[in-house]
Structure 1
């Protein structure tokens, strides 16, 4: 395709030309031409100077030189009007359809022959303007027009649609967001759920309304940068929030003010992508039904083969616990050397019975990674039909279990440990207060013997350097309607002996199974804390000052496949298996042991198990933030509701400009400026404090006043 000749040398005073400015064609009259430089008069009577290379590749008509400026203006106006009329009749998309596949680029004259038999200069100019405006289909590469291929056109059209949609949403939504923020600032109550818009900011378009909802919810979930649709929503948000203050959780506050999200909405769940409740399991009914059917088949087979274990196991849990994953039996035993000791059998729920690893349900459960227990309720790792139903060790029902069998000597030292697969029937599910009452009255010989063994186990662990933190556990309870919730905090009724019994048996099971697996060559996921602790860190610590001192010495446990020491527990190896209904790490370890006992080989080799650690560790950290920070949120709500009341505290760290206070009854810590405490401040000093600014949403807690307690 030959290029059109350059205009230089064909122009003279009186010629009509067009040039491009701000992506628009402007008509002009040549007043003077010299060596490729032009002095032009535009339709708006403005003189401009530019090189002829700036002209568009069409010119004419040519008029005699010497016309007055008024005459020039009239002629340019008439030409402009005519060219706009012709341009309105041109459909560049039809022209693109005709040109597709014919050529990749062409001059304006070639395109004009597709529309007219004898196109004149007005037709050329009008067509050129139309093609310049159709940027999605053509690209002006002087002096020709490049014809975009179909895939590029679709990409450009999609981008244009997105830009137009964004403009519509932003124009409508900005005023609404400003009005909502004004409600937040002024302390007005949130709009009722289902509110469409506000009187001062109407949203007539349903699609725009839905888009605004999506934008806010995506920001609450922190999904920006996740790619695809979330990136598009992030662009909306960047435009919508202009002129609004840069404050934490702005989108959440707007959504709550609008009534889209309730007060006290748990945004941490959204950020972690953790579906609350059990509604998520509806997508897996087929897989769950298959589990139930397989369970019945295997239960019938176990009964036929006489595989039911007659051991009278009992469990101890909170009265509200529905996902019961451990039970125990303790009895006297004669050891191989003829001495007397203990038999301790710990039955662990076995949800891995017929699990489809790698299936849809498994991937979802792995993504949930752990159950959550929050003041507003529980979120279970497994579907409730399985976790709190089918596999929960409820009394009087035959359930599959992994039984960890231990023989221990009279001092509580482990003589032997071996796991076995079984079906068990729990004799009793006992609540902590009831178990404690029985222990206090010494009315249950089995529980009394179990307590005696648990005390020996603790003594042996302390001998090996264990760190035991014993502090009150505050119970956070919520009362009232969502818009008027009251928080109540009470110290949980203590059941020290029953709690000691359960905790020591769980440590025994996890340590014992870890050592057995190491000797048998079964790779497991271990919790390790391979650090050296000074002798002063060993013991049972109850005083807030001592607890703060010891906690500083501890490092967070690591997840790894190599069995190493867990310093705080005083275990040479520690692999959690005792909560397979609640934690996916325990679930995987259970599957490793089950497969080895059934076939002689673990389900995953060492490399396969290690490959899971990065994903599991990251997900545990992400979901664990919810369990860590959400109870603290409610504690701060409680403090806000009791803002004018004094609270007892203890100075646990006086180092630096901001000493640390502990509130033992609430298990909170707060820092304050040193000058608030005076010159006599010292670790262990009892303090009474009043709080100033409290913002549960931003985790802000500031002390207004502090004085030494009487």
Structure 2
């Protein structure tokens, strides 16, 4: 597996700091619970302190311009915000305080922000003390003027779940409503496809085509077609919803989609990147309807070798909509509608998957946990989703399309320079993280060859194969994932280490990811021969990576809320669990039965011993008893607290009969020993 990174990440031009102009810096403002602010500037060793009186109109998460104050000899630079470049959040949850002819909106949460002025015409039927969502329409840098806003929606005080989910989205910077101008633009797009547009495209409407998606999906953004060729090979098409046909640059629709950059999937809802009419109707590749698509079409041998490929805009007509469960049943029973085609595609997908791992891809498996919810969104059970062959079938053909699109673009140059393009990259493992992990894995008999990136990947795969079904499987898989770099979007094509690809991008999900829309637009320019290099592409990639991380954090927060809500029904009960993380202040335990994670605080262990963190062993160790709580260990816990507001579960370790008898005696006698030592010290 080759690497294309010729320089080091973070290299700076000699001309100066990239985020500094004269005595000003550009960075992200983070406001602590105490109210103090810090501007984090990329490449600057220390953050810039900003006092609340110097925020001006800036708020937590905003990208700001900050001017340094006169150096008074302190260790930390201090500054004042002189402008806001980008707002993280424009919608907020809080309460209304009514006055005659106007109201003030008072935001909730622990992050400082000014009250928002709401004129009477913008109340939207809200009244005194209503809990509402407000959108800011006007910001002012004048300290004497408050931001001006409008009530977007009134929250149902009796629906705590709805309020919590909306707060999570807004805190992460994802608006919960589409602005009127966006909805109007979406409504104006005609449903009917002009015949003139179909004539410009390759017509696949007569080729057998179907979609495979989750049972509850409504936005079908990919479809597969298959056709037997006269030479014995197969023509396999990967057809992707042509969002870029409907969402044009420099429109309110496009600007808002770019701002969000991704759909967000919470346990009980989807916060979509695009309005429902586009994502679920116009672009969704629904069965028995003509649809516009952007396609990667491959001529493949029965053994899965790509002989030829074609990229371009197409028209399709899906013959059938499959769920993953239906396809899995066809694979297992070898019978059913279009079973020959499904089994053939699965056979090729298996070969593609094996070839990918042989070439250096890392075979990390993931188990997805979802809550079963009642009609009010309350969790009533746990569903564990496994990655089966039906999922892997779709995954392999999507990976193939993404790889070939990136590979095609990487060969094109304009004025002897690569075209700015949103590659999806994954860097080499961090050496500092790898060393303690390798030492830990060695305790279970797993050795790593670090002579090359390829050998590291090979070692990972050997370990992952060997630990299947063993007690240490979960901990080594989780720790292995944590040693990996985070995938991101960038114009710097360094390859994708985890997949083992030299070229990779996201082409296959434009309904829910904005980078895919950018990929479609660049590819269309290349295919039409009218390339206009986007000088802002790297900044757009950075924005999309940041929004992706924010969406993941929102999804984690929402899942945590559901875990806490679910475990409230089990306060005082005991369960078996696995230690999922350790820190100096305690350890986390994930219950085996519910997959719900909580914290066992080190203070709750004080009656047994004094525990210290041993980083290299991912464990807490008792100073006197030698009792060890190591990541991956099975323990018994009691649920002692479930705080929905903080989204926090507290567990207590339960001393059980399974603890070694000698260790049990040592732990139980410890307080007496401590008393004797104190007495002896006083006598001395």
Question: What's the offset of the Cα at 1:268?
Answer: 2.2
Contact between 1:371 and 1:378, CA under 8 Å: does it hold in 2? yes
Equivalent position of 1:372 in the other structure = 264
Is residue 550 from structure 1 mapped to residue 480 from structure 2 by the alignment? yes
Correspondence for 2:535 among 607, 610, 626: 607
Does the residue aligned with 2:627 lie in a helix, a strand or coil?
coil
Is residue 452 from structure 1 mapped to residue 347 from structure 2 by the alignment? yes
Query: Which digits, 9 at most, give the CA deviation of each residue in 1:136-179, with x for residues without a partner?
Result: xxxxxxxxxxxxxxxxxxxxxxxxxxxxxxxxxxxxxxxxxxxx
Distance, in Å, in 2 between the alignment partners of 1:306 and 1:257 is 53
Distance, in Å, in 1 between the alignment partners of 2:547 and 2:554 is 11
After superposition, the Cα gap between the structure-2 partners of 1:684 and 1:612, relative to the gap in structure 1 and judged at 3 Å, is closer
Distance, in Å, in 1 between the alignment partners of 2:201 and 2:582 is 66
Is residue 325 from structure 1 mapped to residue 273 from structure 2 by the alignment? no
After superposition, the Cα gap between the structure-2 partners of 1:465 and 1:260, relative to the gap in structure 1 and judged at 3 Å, is closer
TM-score, length of structure 2 as denominator length:
0.62
After superposition, the Cα gap between the structure-2 partners of 1:667 and 1:516, relative to the gap in structure 1 and judged at 3 Å, is farther
Whichever structure has more strand as a proportion of its residues is: 2
Query: Which digits, 9 at most, give the CA deviation of each residue in 1:425-480, with x for residues without a partner?
Result: 11111011111111111111111111111111111121122223324322223325
Is residue 314 from structure 1 mapped to residue 230 from structure 2 by the alignment? no
Q: How does 1:369-448 map to 2 (within 5 A)?
A: 369-409=261-301, 411-443=303-335, 444-448=339-343
Question: What's the offset of the Cα at 1:686?
Answer: 2.1
Contact between 2:598 and 2:648, CA under 8 Å: does it hold in 1? no
Distance, in Å, in 1 between the alignment partners of 2:350 and 2:361 is 14
Equivalent position of 1:280 in the other structure = 178
Is residue 702 from structure 1 mapped to residue 650 from structure 2 by the alignment? yes
Equivalent position of 2:425 in the other structure = 528
Distance, in Å, in 2 between the alignment partners of 1:259 and 1:633 is 14
Contact between 2:107 and 2:113, CA under 8 Å: does it hold in 1? no
Distance, in Å, in 2 between the alignment partners of 1:550 and 1:292 is 49
Distance, in Å, in 1 between the alignment partners of 2:240 and 2:477 is 32
Question: What's the offset of the Cα at 1:261?
Answer: 10
Distance, in Å, in 1 between the alignment partners of 2:299 and 2:186 is 38
Query: Which digits, 9 at most, give the CA deviation of each residue in 1:396-417, with x for residues without a partner?
Result: 1111111112234555344443
Is residue 474 from structure 1 mapped to residue 369 from structure 2 by the alignment? yes
Correspondence for 1:581 among 478, 498, 511: 511
Does the residue aligned with 1:690 lie in a helix, a strand or coil?
strand
Equivalent position of 1:296 in the other structure = 193
Runs (5+) with no aligned partner, structure 2: 1-93, 117-135, 148-154, 414-418, 429-452, 609-619, 621-625, 659-684
After superposition, the Cα gap between the structure-2 partners of 1:463 and 1:280, relative to the gap in structure 1 and judged at 3 Å, is same
Does the residue aligned with 1:703 lie in a helix, a strand or coil?
strand
Question: What's the offset of the Cα at 1:649?
Answer: 2.1
Contact between 2:356 and 2:500, CA under 8 Å: does it hold in 1? yes
Does the residue aligned with 2:639 lie in a helix, a strand or coil?
strand
Equivalent position of 2:164 in the other structure = 264
Does the residue aligned with 1:280 lie in a helix, a strand or coil?
coil
Query: Which digits, 9 at most, give the CA deviation of each residue in 1:336-387, with x for residues without a partner?
Result: xxxx665432111101115320111111111121112212211211111111
Question: What's the offset of the Cα at 1:529?
Answer: 1.0
Distance, in Å, in 1 between the alignment partners of 2:651 and 2:368 is 23
Equivalent position of 2:53 in the other structure = none
Equivalent position of 2:637 in the other structure = 689
Question: What's the offset of the Cα at 1:394?
Answer: 0.5
Correspondence for 2:460 among 537, 554, 565: 537
Correspondence for 1:560 among 487, 490, 495: 490
Rg larger in structure: 1
Does the residue aligned with 2:363 lie in a helix, a strand or coil?
strand
Contact between 1:691 and 1:703, CA under 8 Å: does it hold in 2? yes
Distance, in Å, in 1 between the alignment partners of 2:236 and 2:114 is 49
Please provide the CA RMSD for this pair: 3.8
Does the residue aligned with 1:352 lie in a helix, a strand or coil?
helix
Distance, in Å, in 1 between the alignment partners of 2:657 and 2:308 is 53
Contact between 2:228 and 2:234, CA under 8 Å: does it hold in 1? yes
After superposition, the Cα gap between the structure-2 partners of 1:397 and 1:261, relative to the gap in structure 1 and judged at 3 Å, is closer
Distance, in Å, in 2 between the alignment partners of 1:530 and 1:705 is 39
Q: How does 1:115-130 map to 2 (within 5 A)?
A: none
Correspondence for 1:639 among 551, 567, 578: 567
Distance, in Å, in 2 between the alignment partners of 1:230 and 1:688 is 55
Whichever structure has more helix as a proportion of its residues is: 1
After superposition, the Cα gap between the structure-2 partners of 1:230 and 1:313, relative to the gap in structure 1 and judged at 3 Å, is farther
Distance, in Å, in 2 between the alignment partners of 1:234 and 1:261 is 35
Contact between 1:564 and 1:574, CA under 8 Å: does it hold in 2? no
Query: Which digits, 9 at most, give the CA deviation of each residue in 1:200-242, with x for residues without a partner?
Result: xxx884557x32xx11369889678998469979999xxxxxx
Contact between 2:406 and 2:503, CA under 8 Å: does it hold in 1? yes
Contact between 2:345 and 2:393, CA under 8 Å: does it hold in 1? yes
Is residue 490 from structure 1 mapped to residue 382 from structure 2 by the alignment? yes
Runs (5+) with no aligned partner, structure 1: 1-194, 198-202, 237-254
After superposition, the Cα gap between the structure-2 partners of 1:632 and 1:234, relative to the gap in structure 1 and judged at 3 Å, is farther
After superposition, the Cα gap between the structure-2 partners of 1:667 and 1:502, relative to the gap in structure 1 and judged at 3 Å, is farther
Does the residue aligned with 1:417 lie in a helix, a strand or coil?
strand
Contact between 2:291 and 2:316, CA under 8 Å: does it hold in 1? yes
Does the residue aligned with 1:555 lie in a helix, a strand or coil?
coil
Equivalent position of 1:679 in the other structure = 627
Contact between 2:208 and 2:226, CA under 8 Å: does it hold in 1? no
